Structures are given as structure tokens and as C-alpha cells.
Amino acid sequence: MSINTPKQTSHLKREILVRLIKAFLSDNFEERTRLIPYDMRPKGHEVPYRCCIYKERAILRDRAIAGLGCSIEDTDDSMLLSELAAKALKREKPDEKPLTVLTTACKGCVPARIYVTDLCQGCVARPCENTCKFGAIKVINGKSIIDSSKCKNCGMCAQVCPYQAIQKIIVPCESACPVSAIEKDENGNAKIDFDKCISCGKCVAACPFGAVHEKSQIIDVLKSIKSKKKVIAMVAPAIMGQLPCTPQQLKQAILNLGFSEVYEVAQGADITTKNESEEFVERLENGEEFMTTSCCAGYNELVERHIPEMKPFRSDTKTPMYYTAEIVKREHPDAITVFLSPCVAKRREALKNPNVDYVINYEELGAWMVALGIQVAECQESEFKNEASAEARNYAVIGGVAKAVQTLLPEEIPAHPVIIDGLNKQSIRDLKKYAKNGMCELGNLIEVMACQGGCLGGNATVNAYKPALKQLTNYVNSSKPLVEQHEKV
């Protein structure tokens, strides 16, 4: 499945968030925040990861800056964490760029390239030279030599070498990015081009140093709760597979954090299903060859920034988050809405939707519960007010959206689903081909998910995919089918 952020970096992120939350709840937020790097790495403390305690403190400071919702790129090195904490308290809306790069943590990896190791035997067959379509490799003095000016980094020579003497060096964040939105700056550190970035979060999950970081909005949410505002949580279906508890216990745990109410985004997914199925029928009756789904925020960003020719084929139906937020604002016009998300991309979507105020991810939610000592498995159960269908709750799993849409289609309008299980360079090439040709030879209903495995494989999930899938499936199987629900939508 999707790459998961290594445990050590996840633990560091969680510990920073726990300390930030405890600092906020203390009587001296600014000073407690300033001391976080020193409390975590006091004088004489073992240095587990870096060259010295000062380097570790510098990285912890940058992680705290991201946890405060600030940008490393826009922060002066001379600013104290206490000053940034005060700045976070005054912030009225989240930053438009959801990611930041911790240059102190970035390893400055060597450039990605294909290179020949000393294992090369200069064999007579010359498979590497004969395979290269670009004339980039020659055997000179008994060893293969690669001309970097001609090499396209395709890796074909490495695949055919019988001695595995040719290796491909990758930069994890660059390799993971499906749209080449991250590269090295003049100092060799990672830099994100936000004009290209689709906020899929793959770079966050891929970096083994945890150098690419989401800018948290948790201080903004805490501030809203502390000011006694009505704050309502909207939970995406993927959350039901994350923690060792029942969905009803999870709701109560979230209420214990200070939220006024909790809405299942699955009820918005039921509206998405109804609208998307009707739209699919209308499009096919009008002679269109195919339609793609539109509930994945990462895919929607991809279309807007990189495949505008796909717009006529993308569903006009809004996302489950959109419809759920609309319901919440209609029932509670004065409420602050917070979407609990498995991925980065929803932060971008929320910025475009006036009905969604903040987004916090599952990692942040887990840290919040740790900070308050909430044991979800010990919480009482609290029922959700509006029941959602089994198909809507299954939106979190790859293929779930297409399956839900199919459920409401008339027999004379058959759907032939095509599933894009995670965005990568190849799947993007396929989508561009479908858009250019105006048809998809494989089917007529294309479900696109940026994360492999669907939302359950998002970069900010906290449970391994298989146990999360098992837990979610049990919840789905205990729910009523869509055919019994859609009349209420």
C-alpha cells in the first residue's frame, strides 16, 4: 500500500503536538512553547538522531513551528518560539500553503541519477548499451559509462544488467511526487513549487527524515473551543478504522475534546452518490463516453493544475465534505466547522469552501487525545444523529465511490468502472490520454483516488492499512444499504 512515514518521525511529530497542546492549556502558552526543544533535549541528554544536541534542538524548534501552523520558509531564525506562539494566537485564518519544509531536518539528498557501480564486468553482450534508446551509455575501457547529458533516468539499463551493476539513486520526496512539484533549492534542500503541488501528501509520507511537514491548524481549533464558540467536528469515513474503539466511542471521545457535536461525512457522501449517479446517467444519455468521479481533493487539484482538458469529463458533483459542511451550517449557522482528515489535500479544498473553517488530521487528533489523557476504548458510546449508508461509509476504500454510484443506476445505464488506485506518473499519463481521446477504452466510470488504497491509505492515517480496513469493513457491514437510505437524502 502507500508508503507510511517511519515510526520515529511520527513519534516526534506526535510528541511535539502533545507538548504544544499541553502548553496551550497551561497558564503560560508562549513560554511553555519556547521551552519545548530544551525540555525534549535537556543538557546531557542522549542525542539519538543527529550530530549534536544543538542540531536536534534546531529541528525540534522547526517541528514546533509547523505545529503552530507557521511556515519555516517565512520565519526568521532569530524569532523565538514564544513569539511565534503569540503570532499563532492572533491568526485569523490558516495559511494557504498547507506544507512547509524543515530545512534543518532535510538531508539534502544527492541528486537522483542512474550510475554504474564497480560490479560492472564490461560484458560482451552489452545489454545496457543496446537497451538505451537515448544513446546515453557506452562501454569504455571495459566499463559502462553513462552520459548524464543524454540520460533520461528511465532505468531500463539497470533492469537489464545481469550483474545488477547499474543502480538508480532516488530522492524519496522527489520520487514520490507524481507531478514533479518538489526539487532541490540552491542549497540542496527540498523546495515545494506550490503552483504545481496538488497537496497529495506523498512527499510527507515518503521523507525518511520527516522534513516535509503539514502546517497544523490545531491551535486555531483549540482557540475556538477555549473562546466558548460552538465547534462542530465532521469526521471522514476513514477515521472509523484508525483507533481501537467503536464508532460511537470515537464520537464521545471527540466530544470530550470540547466539540459541541460530531457529524459523519458519510451522510454527505450519500448526497454525493445520489447526485453523481444522476449526473452519470445524464452524461451517457447525452452521448458522452465517460465520466470521472470528483470526491478526491488531490485529484481535483491535479485536474485544475495539470490536466485542464479533463474538466469536461470530471463530475460536477461536490465532495462529501462539501455537502456535510452545508448541512452543518444550515443547522448551526453560527458554528465553527472542523473537518477531521486523513490527508493534506482537504486543507486546500477547505480554503475554497466558506462552510469549512479548519482541518485537522488524524495524527493531530491522536496527539490531542494523548495530551488530554483520553482513552477512546474506555469512553461511553454516543450515537450519531443521522444514519449514513453502508456504501457511503465505504467511500474510504478504493473502489467504494464507483460501487456506491453503481447501486443507484438504472439497469439500462450500465457502468463499467475503471479504478485509478493512487496517482503516479503512469496513472497521470493514462488520464491525460483519456482526456485527449475523449474516451476510455477500459470503461465509462473512472474513480480516481490520489492515495493508494483510497482515503484509508492517506498520509495522515495512524493505523496500518489491513487492520484499518478490517475495522472499517465491520462498520460498513453493520450499516444499512444505500437502497434503504437514498429516499431520505
CATH of the domain at 211: 3.30.70.20
Q: Could you tell me if 287 and 412 lie in one domain?
A: yes
Spatial CA neighbour of 360 closest among 120, 110, 67, 72? 67
Global pTM?
Answer: 0.91
Q: Could you tell me if 258 and 332 lie in one domain?
A: yes
Q: Could you tell me if 147 and 182 lie in one domain?
A: no
Instruction: Answer for the pair 413, 282: CB distance below 8 angstroms, yes or no.
Output: no
Q: Structurally, how many domains does the chain consist of?
A: 3
Q: Could you tell me if 318 and 203 lie in one domain?
A: no
Which residue range forms the structural domain that includes residue 162?
Answer: 113-169
Spatial CA neighbour of 472 closest among 489, 484, 455, 447? 455
Instruction: Answer for the pair 452, 421: CB distance below 8 angstroms, yes or no.
Output: yes
Please report whether residue 66 resides in a domain: yes
Q: Could you tell me if 369 and 396 lie in one domain?
A: yes
In this prediction, residue 487 carries a pLDDT of 52
All three cell numbers of 273? 452518490
Q: Could you tell me if 401 and 452 lie in one domain?
A: yes
Please report whether residue 91 resides in a domain: yes
Q: Could you tell me if 126 and 75 lie in one domain?
A: no
Q: Where are the alpha helices (DSSP H) in 41-141?
A: 53-67, 81-90, 127-131
Instruction: Answer for the pair 416, 443: CB distance below 8 angstroms, yes or no.
Output: yes
pLDDT of 409 over the 60 cut: yes
Q: What whole-number percentage of the chain has pLDDT above 90?
A: 88
Q: Could you tell me if 240 and 270 lie in one domain?
A: yes
DSSP conformation class of 396 = G
pLDDT of 307 over the 50 cut: yes
User: Which distant-in-sequence residues (6+ apart) come within 8 Å of 423 by Cβ?
Assistant: 178, 198, 200, 298, 299, 302, 448, 449, 450
Please report whether residue 1 resides in a domain: no
DSSP conformation class of 397 = S
DSSP conformation class of 244 = S
All three cell numbers of 312? 469536461
DSSP conformation class of 292 = E
How do residues 209-225 score in pLDDT, each as one tens digit? 999 999 999 999 999 99
Spatial CA neighbour of 409 closest among 289, 301, 275, 310? 275
In this prediction, residue 7 carries a pLDDT of 61
Q: Could you tell me if 279 and 345 lie in one domain?
A: yes
Q: Could you tell me if 148 and 53 lie in one domain?
A: no
Mean pLDDT of 11-18: 94
